[in-house]
Structure 1
């Protein structure tokens, strides 16, 4: 069956199951009552594809089963939203961008970005997105470069939710200098011995596997700085010696864990290697632009969710005999935030279209510029919307029950990860404006 035929069939199945499952009291309109925390669609929906709209419709239905109170409790208790992960896995959504041959949906980053935006906008915020983010993004290099054995034993279990995965790249002393990573995977008679430290590893406490980037050749021995790194798909076996994880207490997204992961001669088998040895940096590049798109979508959803809350509050809150939204001092900042989100939305889905163009007609640099620009603009627009939502609520914006304080804490993540605003500005300065490199 061809991809268009398959997509048509899948869409029909999604819509059929969605209509059968929903009831008028819960979901009165498929595309109007999208958010669990808002009564109407705030984002302009013109111009999206049928596949994107179908994804949005189906994901929003799943998210409606997890109200804001669920995410408030998970945030305050720092408790993993495993029920949410399981609900998405049950319907195969964790394989949205994985090949059909491996049990995935075979859709593109455009649809995956829409899924992630829908999740954050539902009220789940960044915590909901981060609960499945690695399953969507970190699996891309594995699906493209993994061996037949790796694919058959790992990918189906990721899609069905049996296996949760985390991504191990960042280190405390290298930060954005990926080419200078120090975690070392030394060859042994039957595999590799890993020693080093990774940091800010999301969901490591609940993951059973990690996609790991480690050095297999010392930096001083490589001809090019881009060589000497290798990618592995490893088991996180807590019973084996040489593995230690420590949770990091953090400002936002508390429902999902972030960790320091320590390896001390941790033994992994030879068949854990993904692709060729010493070519890990080239492999990881395959997914970097995709992740920027996903983060942009997540930021957009967070911004729209905050704006929906703020606009509703501005209509309901009466001071001096009139709704505060009637005052331009309240209305104009929210209107400005909306336009910023809409502009970032256009940049984001333009980037996903370029990324999904597989005929070679779009230069790699053009894709990189678009994806980095989208991530930057969406993160800034989300920050603006979340900050103004808190201010529009006044004192109640500081209260947990109104959600906007949680959104504000979480909106800092897209500004920082997976690449800082400043490095994106450096990239555009160099690649587009052809200015001298500053680092």
Structure 2
């Protein structure tokens, strides 16, 4: 996809109109106060953007990953960076197991409240001792009368301080007792009741406005009606959302890089040293031009991956490649923006230092650059598995 069609342009413009109501000072204040951008979240919900990928019968728009990517690209490039993106990111892909594998009753009960913003959900997958090896999780759901009792630990669970629902991946059969490591895992969608779940915030490098947490789960009862799909099939359900998430992370990183690049270009035109604008110097021009090229190339890869996904074609290599290229291009652009500003790039006034801190997470999550390279080597270049 090179050019947007009229409907896609309308999505971009509609989201941009909401984002324009939240300026740099708003996002800087959320950052200083480590305060969730609730006003922004409500505004996006009010205009229907939280339901872009949700089925129309439940209040959503029923659109694809391409349209979700346009929403998230616009949001992340608005100045809000990952604080803005992360406040609504999970709505774009997280509920997919419910959409695809939930019962009719579950969809009716859960999806409209997610679309309207009445419910906020966090995603409990990663664990302290499992990391990227998701099949090695140990959070366990034991079957009891009427449901399950769950115990375990989750880490890096975003928005758990403000969410009232949690989508949680557990084991229902120990890894040693299954034929394949990916078997025996089950997904639940349930109330995040603070009297039953302990949620502790993690102090971190950036994106202070959107919390990341440790979640402690000790013998929490979850009714069987909160289980999504079949017991033991949870990992395969999780796979439905992996490629869309990689595409969305890619476009968010690209957008933040483009925002930073625009700020750097303006500063280079306006800042004069030794009687001339610094942007007149090729030492300033060329690195910025290279960052533009890298961002545009990453955008094309991300849109290719989205188009493949929406047409039902395999897109694992493209989605992973987009995440790698997008995160690298976004980070490099933000770093160059700070360097272009010189000393002022280190000051909070010009915002680029915040953009650099926030974009870094896209290189780390939800999958490392090393695992992406291993995936491409194995699946595309037919090399032996290295891990």
In 1, distance between residues paired with 2:231 and 2:29? 44
Tell me the secondary structure at the aligned position of residue 156 of structure 2. Answer: strand
Report the equivalent of 1:59. 15
In 2, distance between residues paired with 1:55 and 1:132? 16
Contact 2:150 2:222 in 1 (8 A): yes
In 2, distance between residues paired with 1:198 and 1:46? 40
Of 191, 194, 199 in structure 2, the residue corresponding to residue 245 of structure 1 is 199
Report the equivalent of 1:410. 358
Structure 1 position 336 matched with structure 2 position 290: yes
Give the paired residue count. 387
In 2, distance between residues paired with 1:269 and 1:388? 51
Report the equivalent of 1:20. none
Residue 46 of structure 1, CA deviation = 5.4
Of 391, 397, 403 in structure 1, the residue corresponding to residue 339 of structure 2 is 391
Alignment of 1:84-163 (within 5 A): 84-163=40-119
Structure 1 position 272 matched with structure 2 position 220: no
Report the equivalent of 1:23. none
RMSD value over aligned CA atoms?
1.0
Structure 1 position 372 matched with structure 2 position 320: yes
In 2, distance between residues paired with 1:107 and 1:130? 20
Residue 386 of structure 1, CA deviation = 0.3
Contact 1:51 1:111 in 2 (8 A): no
Moved more, 141-150 or 404-413: 141-150
Moved more, 315-324 or 147-156: 147-156
Report the equivalent of 1:19. none
Tell me the secondary structure at the aligned position of residue 382 of structure 2. Answer: coil
* Structure 2 stretches lacking a partner, 5+ long: none
Residue 234 of structure 1, CA deviation = 1.1
Report the equivalent of 2:164. 208
In 2, distance between residues paired with 1:204 and 1:116? 21
Contact 2:2 2:300 in 1 (8 A): no
Report the equivalent of 1:297. 251
Contact 1:127 1:253 in 2 (8 A): yes
Alignment of 1:186-197 (within 5 A): 186-197=142-153
TM-score computed with the length of structure 2 as normaliser: 0.99
In 1, distance between residues paired with 2:323 and 2:297? 12
